[in-house]
Amino acid sequence: MALIETSTTINASPEKIFSYVSSLDSLKNEYVVSVEADGPIKLGTKIKTTVKAMNGVQNTITSEVIAFEQNKIFGTKTYAAPPASDVISTFILEPEGKGTKVIMQTEANLMPAGMPSVPGMEDMMKKQMIAGYDATLAALKKKLEG
């Protein structure tokens, strides 16, 4: 498993950030058709997200809340069908000055069994994931500071 991590500081309280990242609204974007949970968001809650690919095909992704400490940590485990592997995604919130340091972590097997091993592929995938997470944190910063 690879640990991918990036962070930013947002000029908002841990309470405001936690409230947003632990809500179903935070999962919605132009590719998400629907999001539903089997109850209130807390440890053990199952979340089903239906996404639409550019080719129009829809897939449902199931996640479970595996870390939930009010205003400090929110994490989910997304279950993947083989050959892909499960992914753990976590937001860690740390007060920093007048704002909050938001750390975004992902644990994933970047080279699951059956994938061809190409030199440099794992590093390339990590760099692409960090770039995507940096963009996610920048959008979160803009939304919560604006």
Range of the domain at 25: 2-145
Q: At 112, which CATH number?
A: 3.30.530.20
Distance in angstroms (rounded) separating the CA atoms of residues 42 and 116 = 38
The tens digit of pLDDT for each residue in 53-100 reads: 888 889 899 999 999 999 999 999 999 877 678 899 999 999 999 999
- pTM for this entry: 0.88
Distance in angstroms (rounded) separating the CA atoms of residues 105 and 66 = 13
Q: What percentage of the chain exceeds 70 in pLDDT?
A: 95
Split into its structural domains, the chain has a count of 1
DSSP 94-137: EEETTEEEEEEEEEE-SS-TTS---TTHHHHHHHHHHHHHHHHH
